[in-house]
Amino acid sequence: SLLLLLSVVCLGVYSQPITDNQRLFSIAVSRVQHLHLLAQRLFSDFESSLQTEEQRQLNKIFLQDFCNSDYIVSPIDKHETQRSSVLKLLSISYRLIESWEFPSRSLSGGSSLRNQISPRLSELKTGILLLIRANQDEAENFPDSGALQLAPYGNYYQSLGADESLRRTYELLACFKKDMHKVETYLTVAKCRLSPEANCTL
């Protein structure tokens, strides 16, 4: 009887951190899903305001360009994502979210949508940092956040002509949507790893 009681107590102690971790992951995934949805809506609203030819030209230009956040080394495909450790996926997600804290204030779109983004990025960054600390027992070390700051997006903040300004706005919104999709994927895969019986195939 005493042995059974001790077993139950020990099980409760050891299972609690896993439960907390799962809860934190669920919140983080839910938050980034909402951010990704906001990013899609901002980009869609901007695209719908363009003329057909403008949209075609901007699509062509963007395919040849790159996002500022591409400097953050991340998995190149779904297979590498699945092979990456939980801590690596969390660390990349943290870098991506942090890289948008400043540029997000200049995103074009309705103020009701735009005003939701900065506080949600800040909340998600805090949540990911908690998850990183909870998973710190892995071999990798998480670098000091001060070293992760990226420069603002190119010369986006300089005075530009009408056409150039349009291109910069398009790129910023397209990159934001792309990066939120990345973070959503990484956090979803990392969360899935907590359930050994789950199929985490992308």
pLDDT at 8 over 50: no
Domain map (residue ranges) of the chain: 20-136+163-194
Q: What is the rounded distance in angstroms from the CA atom of residue 93 to the CA atom of residue 179?
A: 9
Give the least confident one: 79-83, 191-195, 197-201.
197-201
Name residue 17's amino acid. Answer: P
Any idea which architecture 20-136+163-194 has in CATH? Up-down Bundle (1.20)
Task: List pLDDT tens digits, range 47-87.
Answer: 888 888 887 888 777 766 678 888 898 998 889 998 899 99
Q: What is the rounded distance in angstroms from the CA atom of residue 21 to the CA atom of residue 15?
A: 10
Task: List pLDDT tens digits, range 9-26.
Answer: 344 434 444 568 888 999
pLDDT at 158 over 80: no
Closest CA relative to residue 140, chosen from 178, 191, 89? 89
pLDDT > 90: percent of the chain: 35
Q: Whole-model pTM?
A: 0.78
